[in-house]
Amino acid sequence: MLKLISLELRKYRFARHIGYAALADLAILLFLTLLGLTDYGAEDYAYATYPESFMLIDTFVRATFMIFAGALISRMIVGEYRNKTVSVLFTYPIKRRKLIAAKLVIIFVFTFGMILFTDVLMGFVLVAVDRFYPFIADSLTMEQVRVLLLEYTVSSLSAAAMSLIPLLFGMRKHSVTATMVSSILLVLIVDSGFSRPLVSINSIIAIHLSLGAAGLWIAWLSMFRLEMKDVN
C-alpha cells in the first residue's frame, strides 16, 4: 500500500500541492487579519473571546481545505477516468480497490493534516499577536488549550472525512464540475451553522460527525464493485 501511495504521489508530482497549500495558508492568514482589523471595536467583533476566535479560524481553514480536497478528488480520481488513463491503470496486476484506496488515503491524510496544521498555526499566531497587542477580551487557560487541541483534531478528522462526499456526485458522470460544485455546496451547508445562536454546539458536532461518517461510507463504497464495472 505504501508503495502504491508513493507511486500516486510521483504520478501527480504531489510535492507541488504542498506549495499550493502554503499559498492557501497565506491567504487564510491575510483574510483573518483583515477581519480582525476592519471589525475592531464592533459590537459583534469576531475575536471577542478566545473560544469564538478559535472557532472562526477552524471554520475558514476547514472551508479552504475541503474545497482543496475537492480539487484533489477531481484531479486524482475523476481526472483518471476523464483522461482515460484508468484504462491503463486498471490493466495492472493490482487490485483496483487498492489503487483507489491509495488515492483516497492521500486525499484524506493530506486534508486532515493540512487542516490540523493550519488550525494550530493560526491559533498560535492569534495567541502570539494577542500577547503583544491585546484585543481579545478574555484570557486563555491551559485547560482550554488542551480542549482546543482535541476539538481541532476532531474537527480536522470529520472535515477530512466529509470532504470525500463529493466523490459520490463526481463519479456519477466522471465530472469535475459536479465534484467541485458539490464540495463548495458542502462547505456552504456545513459552515453556515457557525455563529448562529439557534444551533447549539452539540448539534454542530453531531452534524459534523454524521457527515464525516457519510464521507467515509461513500469512500468505502467507491472501492467496491470496481471489478464488476466496465471501463470504457
| Sites of contact with other proteins (CB under 8 A) | 3, 7, 10-11, 13, 83-85, 87-95, 227-228, 230-232
| Nearer residue to other proteins within complex by CB, 106 or 157 | 106
| Nearer residue to other proteins within complex by CB, 98 or 146 | 98
Report the alpha-carbon distance of residue 47 to residue 45 in Å, rounded: 5
Whether the CB-CB separation of 65 and 159 falls below 8 Å is answered with yes
Whether the CB-CB separation of 86 and 80 falls below 8 Å is answered with yes
Residue 220 Cβ, how far from other proteins at the closest point, in Å? 19
Report the alpha-carbon distance of residue 156 to residue 161 in Å, rounded: 8
Residue 64 Cβ, how far from other proteins at the closest point, in Å? 24
Residue 12 Cβ, how far from other proteins at the closest point, in Å? 8
Residue 49 Cβ, how far from other proteins at the closest point, in Å? 47
Q: Where are the alpha helices (DSSP H) in the chain?
A: 2-11, 15-38, 50-73, 79-82, 86-89, 96-132, 142-162, 166-170, 176-191, 201-222
| Nearer residue to other proteins within complex by CB, 143 or 227 | 227
| Nearer residue to other proteins within complex by CB, 75 or 208 | 75
Report the alpha-carbon distance of residue 208 to residue 48 in Å, rounded: 24
Residue 16 Cβ, how far from other proteins at the closest point, in Å? 10
| Nearer residue to other proteins within complex by CB, 10 or 146 | 10
| First and final C-alpha spacing in the chain | 26
